[in-house]
Structure 1
């Protein structure tokens, strides 16, 4: 058996706000839209992104919903050019994201930046080389 990730689910404080950020702001395709749950398609070859009420995710897993700060995970979007990095960063900010690290050249020869969505989830946008 080989493990596959076909959906990434994140707990959000406000599903409507998160839907607006991802669907309208970043242009993700809306697949399912229920009260308290949204499923978005991120493109061919990519996992889907599910948005679920924060407390409901914790309840589903049987853990406490308490906690804040860095969650030990970041979502990455690898693109072909610096212009694409800059475009995605600008689109995210226009949609309500916060720049965490301005896009800049990296020691490894690439170019990357970080933004946080309205719930604080980190996104790294980077060139592939």
Structure 2
């Protein structure tokens, strides 16, 4: 069974500093790791992150042309299911593969110290399965920080 949890919502930003300034202007609290290269805002149970679109495309294991050429293009928003252990990334991707999800990036160790993989649902919405050793969850599984 795949965890019924959305812990991180990432927007592929065309102009990250401008988009970050917008969310700051709303008075939203940022996490301590935020910058003009990657920003994250605390919300009620879900972290909203902003990541440069070009970097998001690469991180998902895709090519820029693949992103742009598709008539039914992929969304610029990525949802994430953060798991509790690194091996759960692999287990979850295998479950999604069995269920017909389109795997975009096989499980691999991430440059930031965790483990990650990406898949697309039938309508080409992007999902990341991630293990982040710094993530903290409450008793319901809501992400408190990462």
**Please, what TM-score do these two structures have when normalized by structure 2?**
0.43
More contact order relative to length (CA 8 Å, sep ≥ 6)? 2
Flag the structure with higher strand content.
Answer: 1
